[in-house]
Each structure stands twice: as structure tokens, then as C-alpha cells.
Copies of this chain bind each other. A is one copy, B any other.
Amino acid sequence: MDTLPLSKAFTLIEPGPVVLVTTHDGQRDNVMTITWTMALGFSASFAITTGPWNHSYAALQKTKECVIALPTVDMLDIAVGVGTCSGREVDKFEKFGLTHVQARHVRAPLIEQCLANIECQVTDIIEAHNIVVLQGVAVWFDSDRKEKRLLHAIGDGTFVADGRKFDRKKMMRSKLPNGL
């Protein structure tokens, strides 16, 4: 995995992919599937919707750290599997054959199998809306990986993969931050 500039982190979340969120609660690693995410600007800040119904939430609250990892279409059944069992009962890394990789700034692990990993600090929790605000502090990207299509959850148990790409950089120039 190579590092990517933090200024590109929002481009991983803006398209709305299914993500895996890893935490480390002081004793062991855990991972949950999150499909409710949002970019909060161009500076690697993000929001996710989660709450006490997710076992990982306690670790997020306590450690104020996590990693957002991006699975690709070939990892669909892992993402669904991770999302339908609880770290309260199983070691999901073991169960789904995910490889822990040590992060640089946080104790939550990167996932080797994922296309990208964003190390994050929790900067705010808005309990009234179950919104957790994250600040990315490092980005990793596996450019050698052939499969780069991300997944999008519909919410009814179906998913859609990235399809055809369109370039509108010229039209968008005035709206893009420098360097993109």
C-alpha cells in the first residue's frame, strides 16, 4: 500500500461506497460494515452514522480512533458477512480472512485486502443524530490492485458496483480544490 495525500481522502468517500470501519478497543480489533457515510469538505473530514446498536461504537467512543477501509466488488460477501454478525460474538478478522496491518497514527488496524484505508480520529459525536465526525490523518491506497470497482448499498439487501466512468474535469475545474 502506498500513501496518498490527505487532500485526496474525500474522493474515496464522496462516491458513497460501502466501507468497513475498524476499531481497536484496547484488547482486540473489530470491524463493522457502514453504508451511511458523508464527506464534510475537502480536508479529509467525514461523518458516519452509527450508534450503540453497533458493538464497535463503544470502541469508537472510548479510543476516538478508527480506520475506514474500502472493499471492492470482489469483497461483497465479506462486506455483507461483516455487517451481519457481531464482534461481540466472533473475531471477524479471523472469520472473514481479513489481514490486520498496523496503521501509522491509530491503533485500529488497516485491512490489507482493501483498496484503500483512511486512518481517522473521532473529532465529535453528535448523539442527537447518531453522527460520528471523523478527521482523516493518513490515507493508504493499493495501486497494484486490479479490481478497483467499489460497492454501493441500496439498503434493501441489494448492492450495485461502480459502472461506466465519465470525465467532466474541464467543466468542473472552477469547483475543484487545487491539485486534483
B-binding residues in A (CB < 8 A): 8, 10-11, 14-17, 35-42, 45, 47-49, 73, 76-77, 80-81, 83-84, 124, 126, 128-131, 133, 149, 151-176, 180
Contact = CB atoms under 8 A, between A and B. Distances in A.
Contact of A39 (B15, B42, B155, B158): B155
A180 B156 contact: yes
A47 B38 contact: yes
6 contacts: A8-B156, A14-B155, A38-B49, A76-B168, A124-B129, A157-B170
A149 B169 contact: no
A35 B2 CA distance: 27
A133 B163 CA distance: 30
A179 B40 CA distance: 32
B84 A175 contact: yes
A169 B180 CA distance: 38
B172 A168 contact: no
A158 B154 contact: no
A174 B174 CA distance: 46
Given A47-B38, A155-B180, A159-B166, A81 B171 contact: yes
Given A11-B155, A15-B16, A160-B164, 15 more contacts: A14-B16, A15-B152, A40-B130, A40-B131, A41-B130, A84-B175, A131-B131, A152-B162, A157-B168, A157-B173, A158-B168, A159-B165, A159-B166, A160-B165, A161-B166
Contacts of A167: 157-158
Nearest to A51: B41
A157 B172 contact: yes
B156 A169 contact: yes
A14 B41 contact: no
